[in-house]
Amino acid sequence: MSVPSASASIEISAPPEAVYDLIADITDMSAWNAECERIRWVGPVREPRPGARFRGINRNGWRRWSTICTITAAEPGRTFAYHVRAEGVLDVAIWRFDITETENGCRVEQKTWDRRGRFMRVVGGLATGVADRAGHNAVNMRRTLESLKAVAERP
C-alpha cells in the first residue's frame, strides 16, 4: 500500500490483545474516537471479521455525516482495518490500526489513506467542514490514540 495520508502512534501499557479488543469493538468506538459519534452493524455479520459491514455516524461541530465501512483485516492482537465508502459506493478512505507488542504493553499505529477523487474531496470538504483532511485526521488521530490509551490503561 502507498504512503498513508496521515498517521500517528502511541505506546500503551496494556496487552496487545486487550487493546485490539477495544479497537475491534466497533459499537463502542465512539467512547475513544475523536470524530465518531456512533456505529451500528449493517447486515447479518455482527462481529469484527473481514467482510463485516458497519455504518459510522461522524461529526465535526454541527456537521454530521455517515459512511458505510467494510472490515478488511481483523487479526486479534495485531491488525484491524476497514474500507470507508460514502453511501456504500464512493471511495473515501482506508483506516488501519497496527498493534505491536512491546516490553511494557504495545505500540499502536493508526493510519489512513485518502481514497477520494477530486469530486469527493470538494463535496466531502463542504459536508464535513474540513478543507485539509490529512491535517485534520493527523490531529484527530493523536486525540483518538490518547483516548484509547486512557481507556486501555484504566485500572
Tell me the per-residue pLDDT of 79-94, one tens digit each, with 9 for 90 and over.
999 999 987 678 999 9
Instruction: Please determine, for residue 35, whether its predicted confidence score (pLDDT) is greater than 70.
Output: yes
Taking the C-alpha atoms of residue 56 and residue 25, their distance in angstroms, rounded to an integer, is: 13
**At residue 149, does pLDDT exceed 80?**
yes
Query: What pTM was estimated for this model as a whole?
Result: 0.91
CA distance 90 to 84: 9
Give the tens place of pLDDT for each residue, 66-124: 999 999 999 999 999 999 998 767 899 999 999 999 999 999 999 999 998 776 776 77
Distance CA 80, CA 9 (A): 14
C-beta pairs of 68-72 under 8 Å, 24+ apart in sequence: 68/42, 69/95
